[in-house]
Chains A and B, each alone.
Chain A
Amino acid sequence: MADASYPDDLKYHPEHDWVRLSDDGTATFGITWFAQEALGELVFFDPPEVGKRVSKDEPYAEVESVKAVSDVIAPLSGEIVEVNGGLGDAPETINDDPYEKGWMVKVRLSDVQEVDALMDAAAYQEILT
């Protein structure tokens, strides 16, 4: 498992999700280092379908560790345009590399202003302490 890290170029949601914003109006979602550490080794990722709409603060996918299942909460609203298919066979990628290879979905954002409600890395780390 990787060491704790919270990259500065990401935005964060209090339910332990991260967002990487692109210039083309899309964003990539994933879960933070804290989230994967709390869940433990992930053994199953149940992906949503491309084309499905997600709403900020609502669940859009499920991850399971050996012991428990958890919803993954959407940090922003929009339409899913791509799903990380590699996680189906190797959900542990989320533990190994939560911010790069462990990304979950790419979403075309419906309301870019929602980004203002997210936290930067420093503010997110504040809520972890």
Chain B
Amino acid sequence: MLGSGPVLAASSETLKRTPLHDRHAAAGAKLVPFAGWEMPVQYASIREEHRAVRSDVGIFDVSHMGEIETSGPGAEAFLQRILSNDVTKIARDGAQYSVLTREDGGVLDDLFTYKLGDDRFLTVTNAANHVKDLAWFERHSDGFDVTLRDRLHELGMIAVQGPRARALVQELTPEGELPARMRTAHLTVAGAPGTLVAGTGYTGEEGVELLVAAEHAGSVWDALTARGAKPVGLAARDTLRLEVCFHLYGNDLSEERGPIEAGLGWCCKEETAFVGAEAVAEARRAGHAEKLVAFVIDGPGIARQGNPVMGGGEVTSGTLSPSLEVGIGMAYVPQDHVEPGTRMEIDVRGKVRSAVVKSKPLYSKETA
């Protein structure tokens, strides 16, 4: 065996730890370095963790994700300037997905922004991009009456996902109703006051994400596991999101790709004149050479990130789908190969694997 893969990578003492690190260690999780953090990649079985989320309820420690709070009279105008979506359309207590783009349209990050008040917003960043995003926010805040606050280390973040997720969190929330999908509420959850409950997630299942004061994260986690929620690691988080074709920054999104070719034109409102809007508008008009598609491997084999698509293009995410029991993935391919049903061949470490372009998502409850 070659023991050089990420599963065998040693952890380092310099890695950051989330407020839930001791829970993961006690549960026997396999801890690996991820974007500078020591994170649980799996507890016992990726497939069981995946299935728990599809059929019951799973919980994820996503405290490594960052939070930037933007407040002040200029908060909305400032975010409108840097985020691709129309920030003025976020309802009070609403949530909105957008991308952060460079002037040339390259994607710096993809983010959820929660509106906490008329002039107060919380934006959730990807762990690997948090420092870069903060610098970008600060650099563009000149001339806006805003205060930026890095809340990464104040907040733990727990995603509760699956058909039983909402009922479970409601049990732990004696006062107040959980917010609807794409809405938020501040509630006391499992004794943790002021928890921001958001009707969002990254699995394609019903559920909520809890932004909880770091000192309460452990007790909330314990209350959830005591009621049967299954801890789920980053490995199953990846298989779950890929089945429903949610983008992963660093795989399917990068500074070298724009939101249009990534299929994220729906969250770009160029009329708001955000940084990068002109480049995005031009890409929307002229089109890109390639586009991100979802595919299913036809036969044996599992394509992985970086595998070339024969005739042009590249796989950006690939795994075995635990729900479909087949190799799945997403790839940038030439524009004349993007229609569902188009056949393609992927060079998987020297072996040609046949695949078919599919419409997104690859998995849904209705087709399961």
Contact = CB atoms under 8 A, between A and B. Distances in A.
B302 A43 contact: yes
A44 B302 contact: yes
A48 interface: no
A32 B3 CA distance: 12
B320 interface: yes
B239 interface: yes
A70 interface: yes
Given A16-B1, A70-B3, 18 more contacts: A15-B2, A39-B5, A40-B30, A40-B45, A40-B235, A41-B45, A44-B320, A46-B300, A46-B351, A65-B7, A66-B47, A66-B239, A67-B7, A67-B235, A68-B6, A69-B304, A70-B2, A70-B5
Interface string B1-35: 11111111000000000000000000000100000
Nearest to A89: B300
Contacts of A41: 45-47
B310 to A, nearest CB: 19
B63 interface: no
Given A44-B302, A64-B320, A38 B47 contact: no
A38 B302 CA distance: 19
A16 B1 CA distance: 5
A10 interface: no
Contact of A43 (B2, B3, B320): B320
B5 A68 contact: yes
A105 interface: no
Contact of A88 (B5, B45, B300, B351): B300
Contacts of B351: 46
11 contacts: A35-B3, A40-B45, A43-B302, A43-B320, A46-B300, A65-B7, A65-B46, A67-B6, A71-B1, A71-B2, A72-B1
Interface string A42-81: 0110100000000000010010111111111100000000
Given A43-B302, A44-B302, A62-B349, A38 B3 contact: yes
A82 to B, nearest CB: 20
Nearest to B44: A1
Interface of A: 15-17, 31-32, 35, 38-41, 43-44, 46, 59, 62, 64-73, 88
A35 to B, nearest CB: 4
Given A40-B7, A44-B300, A65-B7, A70 B1 contact: yes
B42 A40 contact: yes
Nearest to A64: B302
Scoring B3, B41, B46, B349 by chain A CB atoms within 10 A of each residue's CB, the highest score goes to B3
A121 B72 CA distance: 67
A19 B41 CA distance: 31
Contacts of A62: 349
A69 B3 CA distance: 10
Contacts of B42: 40
A73 B30 CA distance: 24
Contacts of A46: 300-301, 351
Contacts of A70: 1-5
B98 interface: no
B2 A39 contact: no
A62 B5 CA distance: 13
A73 B46 CA distance: 25
B316 interface: no
B322 interface: yes
Scoring A39, A41, A44 by chain B CB atoms within 10 A of each residue's CB, the highest score goes to A41
Contacts of A40: 7, 30, 42, 45-46, 235
A59 B47 CA distance: 27
B85 interface: no
Contacts of A38: 3, 7-8
Given A41-B45, A43-B320, A59 B2 contact: yes
B161 interface: no
A43 B320 CA distance: 8
